[in-house]
Amino acid sequence: MLLASAVAAAQTGPYREISLSQLRDKIRGGWAGQMIGVSFGAPTEFRYRGRINEAELPKWTPERVRNALNQDDLYVDMTFARVLDDKGLDADTEDFAAMFRASQYNLWHANLAARRNLRRGIPAHLCGHPRYNAHANDIDFQIEADFIGLMAPGLFQSANRIAWHAGRLMNHGDGIYGGMFISGMYAAAFFENDPRRIVETGLACIPRRSPYGMLIADVLAWHKRYPQDWRKVWRLIEKKWDKDDPCPAGALTPFNIDAKLNGAYVALGLLYGAGDFGRSIEIATRAGQDSDCNPASVGGILGVVLGYERIPEEWKAGIPAIADEKFRYTDYSFNGIVESTLKRALNLIERAGGRREGEKLLVRLEQPAEPELEIWNYGNVARRIAVSDKQWSFRGPWRSEKEQRIAGERGAEALVSFKGTGAILVGPYLPEGGKADVYLDGELAATVDVCSEEKGAKSNEAVWHAYGLKAGKHTLRLVVRGEPYGDRKGTEVALQGLVVLR
């Protein structure tokens, strides 16, 4: 696929001047802002789901920023940056996939599904597609796209091209647009200090007709109507948009890791924080759901606006003490990632038609342009059928354990019927999980495994899923193969239920 903006790559605007020291300071501020935001919001991550956090927030102290060294928001972000450092600006999805396939850190949701897909032979460019990834609209690429915006001052089309290659690995449609929206706001923040203009520019980098684009347009309209009342706008977001999340952990539950909903909370923090660093990350945190990732994005964008030197001392005081310590799973320290990003930014500026004149940089601005529109119709989440429901029947030695049914003996069967156009078979991934065959309406649909490849079990995952089925009644049958995955020894498969879409 080609970006629509790739066709319009020559659409560049006037030159903008920025000094080398200013560029470094803003990049430094962006990485610092991420570290502060994620550490500030970490204690409340997913503790407030579908409700505003009105509790007293944990007091900020300088040493709390050390938490950022172990945050996936940063170390996954940085390992993607490493691909560009190693492969250059033309790195493609396969290059990002090689890094991801070999990674050893824990992952969740779309990222986890993508890495599993890679290791099971799915082509890299399909690993984020809804056909193979039940989490295609989740927040994953959105929270790791900061590295793109931080190297693309005013270079919106260049940022989108990189995002298209990297985001394709774990997301699709709105999931990729989330990364484009965030990186577009970073790119804008180098030359713009009005939060509303920054959000508007981020919106201009994604398709207006996408659900993500429509939600951000709503937030901007509601901000104009209720300029002093972020809680009112939060409630409007909830009423219209917090629904039909197909993520198996979130379907018909208060939990929502959807990219666009959490992206709306980022916009909320920027718009109603009005440039105040502390106020902005507080609002993004109080909005709930992914309340460390969202203030991380807000803090990073405002960190670029302010530059490191202008971030209030109370927030950044703990960074110098850890500035040369490496982030977990990376070769980068804070100081190291700043210099790495600066080098990539200089290369991208030159590639886009800009130039360096001593300590002065002339950036040839690019006009934001909408990428290709991708929309996948998942259907509406209709119901969850727990394994305890009488619609399920089990044959063979299944046992009940913590709202799960578990079996490892060859031939054990689980059967359920449903009416709908899609279904997600939900269960945990187990460290020694085995294999099973899934039959849909009597035909073999897939052979799956529930091996987590990580130390612990992962609950509420997609064991198997299918969308776009013919409307009507369907029968799903899972048959345990009694076989381990790869070189593992376990054969057990566990089920928690079925999510039905219509």
DSSP letters for 109-174: HHHHHHHHHHHTT--GGGTTSTTT-TTTTBSHHHHT-HHHHTT-TT-HHHHHHHHHHHHTTT--TH
What one-character DSSP code corresponds to residue 430?
B
Question: Residues 247-260: what's their mean pLDDT?
Answer: 96
Dihedral sign computed on CA atoms, order 125, 130, 133, 139: positive
Note whether 77 and 327 are within 8 A (CB).
no
- pLDDT surpassing 50 at residue 5: no
* Strands 422-429 and 458-466, bridge-based pairing: antiparallel
- Two structure tokens written together for 81: 């940056």
Mind giving me the DSSP string for 311-325? S-HHHHTTSGGGTTS
Q: Residues 236, 222: contact at Cβ < 8 Å?
A: yes
Q: What digits encode the pLDDT tens for the residues 190-204?
A: 999 999 999 999 999
The pLDDT tens digits for 21-72 are 999 999 999 999 999 999 999 999 999 999 999 999 999 999 999 999 999 9
Mean pLDDT for 282-293 is 98
Residue 199 parent element (H or E): helix 195-204
Instruction: Say if residue 3's pLDDT is above 70.
Output: no
Residues 6+ away with beta carbon under 8 Å from 474: 417, 418, 419, 420, 423, 440, 441
CATH of 4-366 among 3.90.1150.10, 3.40.50.2300, 3.90.1310.10, 1.10.4080.10: 1.10.4080.10
The class that CATH gives domain 381-501 is: mainly beta
Instruction: Name the pLDDT band for 412 (thresholds 50, 70, 90).
Output: very high
Task: For the chain, give the mean pLDDT.
Answer: 96
Tell me what the mean pLDDT of segment 467-483 comes to: 97
pLDDT at 330 over 90: yes
Residue 11 has pLDDT above 60, yes or no: no
What tokens does 171 get? 């997301």
Q: What global pTM score does this model have?
A: 0.96
Q: What would the two tokens of residue 247 be?
A: 């993520």
Residue 288 has pLDDT above 90, yes or no: yes
Around Cβ 277, how many Cβ atoms within 10 Å? 24
457 burial (CB, 10 Å; 0-12 / 13-18 / 19+) is middle
pLDDT of residue 455: 85
C-beta of residue 189 within 8 angstroms of C-beta of residue 150: no
Q: In 3-state terms, what secondary structure has residue 353?
A: coil
pLDDT in tens, 127-163: 999 999 999 999 999 999 999 999 999 999 999 999 9
Strands of 405-407's sheet, edge to edge? 399-400, 405-407, 493-495
H helical segments located in 226-258: 230-241
In three-state secondary structure terms, 115 is helix
> What per-residue confidence (pLDDT) applies to 6?
37
Tokens of 33: 């802002």
d(CA 135, CA 130): 7
* Model confidence band, residue 9 (pLDDT cutoffs 50, 70, 90): very low
Domain ranges of the chain: 4-366, 381-501
pLDDT higher than threshold 50 for residue 7: no
Q: What share of the chain is helix, strand, coil (3-state, %, to 5)?
A: 45, 20, 35
Contact in structure between 429 and 451 (CB atoms under 8 Å): yes
Q: Give the distance, in angstroms, between the CA of residue 116 and the centroid of all CA atoms in the same chain.
A: 16
